[in-house]
Amino acid sequence: MSKVLTPLTYEELLNEIEAFIKRFYPNYERLESDSFSVLIEAFAYKIALLEQRRVNSIKSLLLQYAKGGDLDNFCQNQGIERLDGAYPYANYSFSIKAPFKQDVVLPKGLELGDESGEHRAFLKNSLTLKAGELSVDGVVEYFKKQKFAKIKCENLLTPLTFSLQIKAQGSFADGGEVESDEAFRERYLLSLHSHTTAGSQKAYIFHAKSADSRIDDVAVFTSEDSPGIVEVVIHSDEGVDELMLERVREILNSDNVRPLTDRVLVSESENKVINIEADIFLFDLKDAANIAASYETLFKKRKFKIGEDLPLSEIIKNLHVGGVYKVVLKNPREDVLADKENIKIQELALSYKEYSSLGVQVLEDEL
């Protein structure tokens, strides 16, 4: 770590203060019973606190260490703002008791409320109730940006010239929370590539991630066989919905992002589900439970990026943890390749056996 980021410790400061005093009083020796000793120690503690405050102030100006509001201020220098989340939404039905003779438009932003009057929701896009029809369905967004809201806003607050019945088809879901420091920091680094006029890969990734805070991964693909076609594939741990795709298409096809010669296609990555089956030979069968728990972290909880492969050698390496004598991998039998997919490990079918020079003892229950 840089010296400027390393604060002086209390002991170092105490020694420095004693050395400074001895320049004027060479015979001075600090004793615990000395009344001045308390003042010297208090002074050293005070300087140590100021030292740490100085280091923290410097770190707040560095991208690697900045957090919260400090990170917001740093990124604002490039005009990059933290994503404040996405509105959860739900499908709603709007109906009338008797059909009209002409089309009727329900305007975008039609305001709805719940029974308590504390919650609001708004119609995302205008809807047209066709002549002769009694109902039409549309998307309604909750008024706060959060992951979900178990609320139903079925009371009309916008004045209309006719009676309208409103029915929620479910609670509000698929929203997004405020962008985390880690995600914001990564997106800032990508933003340095966003000013290119040639449509670079990282520029597309930056703009796609800026479209919706729920997006966890973006990959960009091109082909020499189809010049000008840019395929942007997105992934979200919470699932990709049509609204997310729509937001990405809108920002990537805007005039100030997409080069004139590019045609941008946006799609969701598919999960490539695999199962891992193996015989695990242990030095001591008593370690099976602990080893099985470590495999959960190494495999089941692992998140793969779009297009990230899983070679057989890596599987065997991760299975060969401390306490394991040998691994016999039964499935998969070849490297798992992901083109535009996300690998997802669904099941670990592992048999634990104890190795000994006299033979092999098989664990009765697979963990």
What does pLDDT average to over the chain? Answer: 89
Confidence class for position 360, pLDDT limits 50, 70, 90: low
The pair of structure tokens assigned to 67 is 């957090």
Separation of alpha carbons 151 and 157, rounded Å: 16
216 to 50, 244, 268: CA distances (angstroms)? 39, 12, 12
Could you report how far apart the first and last alpha carbons of the chain are, in Å?
A: 43
Cis peptide, bond prior to residue 159, ω within 30 of zero: no
Contacts of 4 (CB under 8 A, 6+ apart): 55, 58
| Omega prior to 332 cis, within 30 of 0 | yes
For 186-230, the pLDDT digits (tens) are: 999 888 877 665 568 888 999 999 998 899 999 999 988 888 899
Q: Specify burial of residue 235 (Cβ count, 10 A radius: 0-12, 13-18, 19+).
A: buried
Percent of the chain predicted with pLDDT > 90: 64
DSSP structural state of residue 3: G
Whole-number Å distance between alpha carbons of 316 and 320: 6
Q: How many CB atoms lie within 10 A of CB 323?
A: 16
Per-residue pLDDT reduced to its tens digit, 92-127: 999 999 999 999 999 999 999 999 999 999 999 999
Amino acid at 341: E
- Evaluated on CA atoms 129, 135, 138, 142, the torsion sign reads positive
- What per-residue confidence (pLDDT) applies to 197? 58
pLDDT the model gives residue 233: 97
Using an 8 Å Cβ cutoff, are 176 and 214 in contact?
yes
Residue 105's SS3 state is: strand
Residue 201 has a pLDDT of 86
Closest CA relative to residue 338, chosen from 301, 317, 311:
311
C-alpha 82/C-alpha 193 separation (Å) is 17
- Estimate to the nearest angstrom the gap between the alpha carbon of 335 and the chain centroid: 28
Total count of residues recorded for the chain: 367
Longest dimension (CA), the chain: 106
Secondary-structure breakdown of the chain: helix, strand, coil percentages, each rounded to the nearest 5: 30, 25, 45
Copy the structure tokens of residue 280: 């695990």
CA–CA separation, 279 and 352 (whole Å): 6
User: Can you spell out the DSSP letters for 28-56?
Assistant: ----TT-HHHHHHHHHHHHHHHHHHHHHH
Q: How many CB atoms lie within 10 A of CB 326?
A: 14
DSSP 180: P
* Cα 334 versus chain centre, distance: 31
Q: How far apart are CA 203 and CA 192, in angstroms?
A: 8
Helix (H) or strand (E) holding 275: strand 270-282
Q: Say if residue 55's pLDDT is above 80.
A: yes
Fold (topology level) of 201-268: GMP Synthetase; Chain A, domain 3 (3.30.300)
pLDDT at 308 over 80: yes
Q: CA nearest 83: which of 205, 211, 179, 216? A: 179
pLDDT band per the 50, 70, 90 thresholds, residue 327: very high
Residue 272 phi/psi, 5° resolution?
-105, 100
- Tokens describing residue 45: 């503690």
